[in-house]
Amino acid sequence: MDFAAPPENVTFRGLLFDMDGTIIDSTAAVEKHWHSIGKEIGVDPEVILQTSHGRRSIDMLKVLAPDKANWEYVRHMEGLLPKLHGDDAVEIPGARALLDSLIAAHAPWAIVTSGTVPLVSGWLDVLKLPHPDHLVTAESVANGKPDPSCYELGLSKLGLDAKAEVLVFEDSPAGIRAGKAAGCKVLGLVTSHTVEQVMAAEPDWVVRDLISVKMVEYNPGDGRVTLQISDALVTSSA
């Protein structure tokens, strides 16, 4: 396996981005955060961290600490994360340039995340990244990833129903499966999981990070955005 596929131009009607591991990397902050929360709720933080990435905090708490599984607690808890650990997050390489180009062209995009509104807005403010016009958060749906509800709602917010013409950007297996279950094409990033874990979720492309993705053009007439994907993963079976 090698990240050496030649550049490929692909066209979509809309783009849906996961947040953590796709636009930002807050792994170090999340680890500190869950260690604090683990002590507070009496659960081994390592147990939480083994399965937390890409999943909503409220879904984790329903299993580990049901008495804390309410939106008031989760929003308060997550809202503190960027404030307490703001220096421990960085943007995913290529994310800012890609989002800036989409915004400049007025191309349709949204963030679809397992985080709450206080968490998402907090991180975007700390890292001075652009806020999307359309946002789907943990509070938006009854079931979190890998359930496709979040990406189906993202499609609705963009006013799109041609699912195969929408690209999802994801790093976690749960998120990749959610995007695929929603009928979208999915680009998997190897930023938080191994190549093998990402591939097992069966995304359509696998790249290291968003440096491999550039906007080529946006045609407002037909609402289509063309991206160039370079240095995608090539497998022996390809």
Q: Which residues are catalytic?
A: 18, 20
DSSP the chain: -EE-PPPEEEEESEEEE-SBTTTEE-HHHHHHHHHHHHHHHT--HHHHHHHHTTS-HHHHHHHH-GGG-SHHHHHHHHHHHHHHHGGG-EEPTTHHHHHHHHHHHT--EEEE-SS-HHHHHHHHHHTTPPPPSSEE-GGG-SS-TTSTHHHHHHHHHTT---GGGEEEEE-SHHHHHHHHHTT-EEEEE-SSS-HHHHHHT--SEEESSGGGEEEEEEETTTTEEEEEE-S-EE-TT-
Cα distance between residue 225 and residue 7, in whole Å: 16
Residues with Cβ within 8 Å of residue 143, at least 6 apart in sequence:
149
